[in-house]
Amino acid sequence: MGDGNALHHGMILCTNSYSIKNVVKLMNVLMIRYRLECTITLKKQNQKVEYMIYIRQNSMSLLRSIVKPYVCSSMLYKLDNSKVYPIIKCSVIKEFRQKRLYSNINTQKEVNPYWVTGFADTISSFSVRIAKDNKRFKSLRIAPIFTIELHEKDFDLLKQINAFFTVGTIIKRVKNGNSSVKYSVQSIKALKDVLIPHFNKYNLLTQKREDLRIFSLVVDILYNGQHKTEEGFNKILSYKASISKGLSKSLLDMFPGIIPATRNLILSTKDFNQFWVAGFALFFFFFCWNQPLNTAKEKKNQVKVVFM
């Protein structure tokens, strides 16, 4: 409650004393476990670079619902973006208020498998969709799906990943005026024979590995046809409740007794493959121009390139 302040476009968590490694770990929990959209921002203090976590404005409603029951009344003002008292004047925050930058890597004929896993550790999603279908058991269709969605400018990057796995499709779509490209694998056979074996061999290192484990259990049930039984169907609901966004309100109303499956905690490791780090860093960090807010009063030679 003490280490954070509201901004006009979200909230800053003052993790200044944390190492970059621990900041990324914490941000990973916020993004994967609690589905908050976060980025890293910098602050230079006494010639030392400090790292803070910025929670985007569109995640503030979700953040309030999660933490409000545990925040004492005198600190509730920190969750109110309508009353902002900015105390951090860090020029790099300006970068994060703009649309995120995009990858400009050259396309290559071969992609390292650890690079693919590292990239998937940041931006991919293992989810289970359940929709109405009168021809299916309990009139519901179950569809496990692996997805990676990026800005349309990263289309070539998704084509590399698609070519690497040799399965799945890429579609372009426009949502709320924003164009994106989405790579997805939905075939049960492709998931079981190609995608899941890859991630079992080249391990995910974040909590997303647990998403994969639970996701794999759903795929196995569907592959063996056990989803057509009461026991198998309820197991899938239990697994779905533990990954992604969990069970929707309509599913909770239909199946009120479902208990989410237990998730294991993935412990941190010091064994980082260099290609995993490269793939992981491509999403979380980027090069940008770092200019003071009062650029009109500053000299041009004070503009510098920062790796974030």
Q: Report yes or no: 55 and 36 within 8 Å, Cβ to Cβ.
A: yes
Residues 56, 174 within the same domain: no
The tally of CA atoms less than 13 A away on the side-chain side of residue 15 is 22
Residues 95, 121 within the same domain: no
Q: Look at the chain and count its residues.
A: 308
State how far Cα 95 lies from the chain centre: 20
Residues 194, 226 within the same domain: yes
Q: Report yes or no: 18 and 7 within 8 Å, Cβ to Cβ.
A: no
3-state helix, strand, coil in the chain (%, to 5): 45, 20, 35
Q: Does residue 269 sit within a domain? A: no
Tokens 């795929």 belong to 219
Distance CA 153, CA 102 (A): 7
Residues 238, 120 within the same domain: yes
Q: Does residue 279 sit within a domain? A: no
- CATH number, domain with residue 39: 3.10.28.10
Residues 80, 187 within the same domain: no
Instruction: Write the DSSP symbol of residue 263.
Output: P
Residues 63, 124 within the same domain: no
Phi, psi of 7 (to 5 degrees): -120, 170
Q: Does residue 266 sit within a domain? A: no
Dihedral angle of Cα 246, 249, 250, 254, to the nearest 10 degrees: 80
pTM: 0.62
Show the tokens assigned to 241.
């409740």
Domain extent for 165? 113-254
Q: Does residue 270 sit within a domain? A: no
Residues 78, 139 within the same domain: no
Residues 181, 218 within the same domain: yes
Among 265, 268, 282, which residue's Cα sits nearest to residue 21?
268
Q: Does residue 174 sit within a domain? A: yes
Residues 168, 301 within the same domain: no
Residues 148, 211 within the same domain: yes
Q: Report yes or no: 292 and 302 within 8 Å, Cβ to Cβ.
A: yes
Taking the CA atoms of the chain, what radius of gyration do you get in angstroms? 21
Number of domains in the chain: 2
Could you list the pLDDT tens digit for every one of the 308 residues in the chain? 444 555 556 788 888 878 887 888 888 888 877 888 888 887 776 667 788 888 888 888 888 888 877 766 656 666 665 544 333 334 443 443 444 444 544 444 578 999 999 999 988 999 999 999 999 999 999 999 999 998 888 898 899 999 999 999 999 998 888 889 999 999 999 999 999 999 999 999 989 999 999 999 999 999 999 999 999 999 999 999 999 888 999 999 999 999 999 999 888 777 788 888 888 877 655 444 444 445 454 444 444 444 45
